[in-house]
């Protein structure tokens, strides 16, 4: 008889006393204590080189901390398929269709071709690009390629999505749309987000919490919490509450720049 382990609900990702140092001696992060809560939209801002990408690598389980511990729920490693990662470069396979790219994580896990492609088609439909399922990446716009990358990150039903400046290379309108779609998706897929961006506007729009990192070695020097139900829609971009958010994040970031090692 095959005993199936019931999938436990995501109870959070916790970093305790985490430091990260690269083999060449570069100290990227120091003394990090942080919990990503279920359903949270955590945005990380900080100067270049503060260790934001390193933090995402640690959270994805792609790199071990030099000291301290990381727990995915009660586990010492993430469950396969429980974390999706989206980079600025969508990293799609150029010879595979959008459908083939999105189906890939399922195929790698041994899901039969037909079931994987059906799930991939559903994922593309949810991202509004089902009509382009058979196009290869070169035939798609930058925004569409990013939607394919998002559908691929979601296909395994992750608890947590990690974003490393995903929309930085896109035009402003496309970026706005993707921000809105991402918020809708986070609500319906019940997935937690950790999002790295250099855009104060983007951080203010997406975050239920913002963490501000100091210059390298990155330490958490500020945290701002916002009502998770906001934004209720795109009109939030012109609301006074949004202006106040951007001002608060901007001030915190400027203060953080002055925090030397």
**Can you give the binding site for ligand ADP, defined by CB under 6 A?**
22, 24, 26, 28, 46, 48-54, 216
**Nearest approach, Cβ of 31 to ligand ADP (angstroms)?**
15
Residue 74 near residue 11 (C-beta atoms within 8 A): yes
Instruction: Please state the length of the chain.
Output: 261
**Nearest approach, Cβ of 122 to ligand ADP (angstroms)?**
33
Residue 110 near residue 137 (C-beta atoms within 8 A): no
**Nearest approach, Cβ of 195 to ligand ADP (angstroms)?**
13
- Residue 28 or residue 149: which is nearer to ligand ADP going by CB? 28
Which tokens sit at 142?
A: 């930058």
**Nearest approach, Cβ of 218 to ligand ADP (angstroms)?**
7
Instruction: Residue 54: name the closest of 83, 26, 79, 77 by CA.
Output: 26
**Nearest approach, Cβ of 63 to ligand ADP (angstroms)?**
9
CA 200 to chain CA centroid, Å, is 16
- Residue 26 or residue 91: which is nearer to ligand ADP going by CB? 26
- Residue 8 or residue 64: which is nearer to ligand ADP going by CB? 64
Q: What is the CA radius of gyration of the chain?
A: 19
Residue 17 near residue 69 (C-beta atoms within 8 A): yes
- Residue 14 or residue 53: which is nearer to ligand ADP going by CB? 53
- Residue 59 or residue 116: which is nearer to ligand ADP going by CB? 59
Instruction: Residue 132: name the closest of 165, 91, 92, 166 by CA.
Output: 92
């Amino acid at each position: 008889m095959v005993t199936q382990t019931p999938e436990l609900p995501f109870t959070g990702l916790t970093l305790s006393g985490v430091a990260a140092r690269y083999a060449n001696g570069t100290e990227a992060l120091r003394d990090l204590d942080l919990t990503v809560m279920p359903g949270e939209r955590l945005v990380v801002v900080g100067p270049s080189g503060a260790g934001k990408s390193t933090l995402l690598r640690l959270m994805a389980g792609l790199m071990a901390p030099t000291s301290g511990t990381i727990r995915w729920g009660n586990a010492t490693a993430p469950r396969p398929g429980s974390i999706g990662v989206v980079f600025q470069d969508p990293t799609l396979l150029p010879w595979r269709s959008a459908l083939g790219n999105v189906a890939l994580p399922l195929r790698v896990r041994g899901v039969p071709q037909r079931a994987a492609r059906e799930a991939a088609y559903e994922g593309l439909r949810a991202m509004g690009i089902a009509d382009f399922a058979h196009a290869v990446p070169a035939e798609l716009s930058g925004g569409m390629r990013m939607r394919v990358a998002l559908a691929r990150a979601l296909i395994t039903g992750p608890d947590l999505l990690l974003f490393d400046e995903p929309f930085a290379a896109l035009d402003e309108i496309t970026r706005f749309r993707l921000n809105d779609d991402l918020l809708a998706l986070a609500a319906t897929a019940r997935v937690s987000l950790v999002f790295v961006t250099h855009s104060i506007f983007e951080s203010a729009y997406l975050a239920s919490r913002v963490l501000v990192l100091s210059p390298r070695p990155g330490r958490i020097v500020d945290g701002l919490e916002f009502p998770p139900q906001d934004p209720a829609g795109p009109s939030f971009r012109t609301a006074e509450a949004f202006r106040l958010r951007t001002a608060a994040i901007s001030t915190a970031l400027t203060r953080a720049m002055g925090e030397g090692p």
